[in-house]
A = this chain, B = another copy of it.
Amino acid sequence: MPAKVPYKRIATEEAFATKEQFEQFGKLLDGGYRDPGFESLWGFYLRSMAERPVLIRERLLDLGARRIADMDATGIDVQLLSLTSPGVNAFEPDVARAVSVSANDELAEAIARHPTRLAGLAAFAPQDPAHGAREIERGVTKLGLKGAIFNGHTRGEWLDDPKFWAVFEACEALDVPIYLHPTGPHRDLIQPFLERGLDGAVFGFGVDTGLHALRLIVSGLFDRFPKLKLVVGHLGEALPFWIFRLNFMHRAGVAAKRYDSIKPLQRWIPEVMRENLYVTTSGMPFEPPIRLCQEVLGMEHVLYAMDYPYQYVADEVTMQDNMAIGPEHKKMFFQTNAERLFKL
């Protein structure tokens, strides 16, 4: 059990599922939806009887006593919840619309039962950007949700296509962040990961999600929406580690006109990362990369997350309590950065 501490611990990338979502996952698996990332991820987590997936299924579906008890047992004051990956991204548009709406309603009800312990982000259907934008607005203004979440590609489409801009426009207008969560890697890059069992959280998630975030940045999204706040878990999927090289080589490529698809940005990659990007420590409870992100992005831009129930380990909370940063920075990391970013 982690020690009592002079700050709230707010965990910012915490997952839940609904029965309806699981039923629809099952239909995709049974109905021959061909997406190797989805099949690898939910073929395992929905069907395996090994200890880890069984526990994860049980915990995902609980939005009540068991979850609160687990939070108590690990010293978590508040969970910021989001519909587990890939949310509704893999569904046909009509299913995606319906499941996003009912999941947001269910989430809002759970928060109403535990208003001091739970908060949440809105699911939305990228398959229908106009509906998605309206659902984010409903989630924030009517249900009290604190932002939106998407999970990598939407049935093979990357969200850097301008046709998805309505979603980002809504988030910027509402002044709420949008969280980019991993999913099973896109079919166009998963194969070499799959061959060695590396497509999941071990590595493929990070590559796919880091690429997705970088595609958003170089597409000029943040020129179009300069106040948009993008949250990326797993310490930014290593983009902060790469920041120097991303900038050097991106600018070299732009200067040499190597590609039609990359253009000068109004603000280059490091500025965008330091101003528009926030990262959380989900799955990365290790001081050297956390400190790197704090140094590279600024103390305000790094937030605590546990990644419950995928990574439910009390010692990891203690490890982060014990980081060699001052008490004010620790309070920012665990509490006030999240309160400010998500307006908790």
Contact = CB atoms under 8 A, between A and B. Distances in A.
Interface of A: 44, 48, 50-53, 158, 160, 186, 188-193, 195-198, 200-203, 206-207, 210-211, 214-215, 218-219, 234-235, 238, 240-246, 248-250, 252-253, 255-259, 261-262, 283-286, 288-289, 291-292, 295-296, 311
Contact of A242 (B52, B193, B196, B238): B238
Given A215-B196, A288-B295, A288-B296, A203 B252 contact: no
A44 to B, nearest CB: 5
Given A158-B192, A186-B192, A192-B186, A200 B246 contact: no
A239 to B, nearest CB: 9
Contacts of A245: 201-202, 206, 234, 283-284, 286
Nearest to A244: B286
The 3 closest A-B pairs by CB, nearest first: A197-B259, A244-B286, A202-B249
Contacts of A202: 245-246, 249-250, 253
B241 A292 contact: yes
Contacts of A234: 245
Contact of A256 (B50, B198, B252, B291): B50
15 contacts: A50-B256, A50-B257, A193-B211, A196-B218, A197-B259, A197-B261, A202-B249, A202-B250, A203-B242, A206-B245, A238-B241, A242-B289, A244-B289, A288-B292, A289-B292
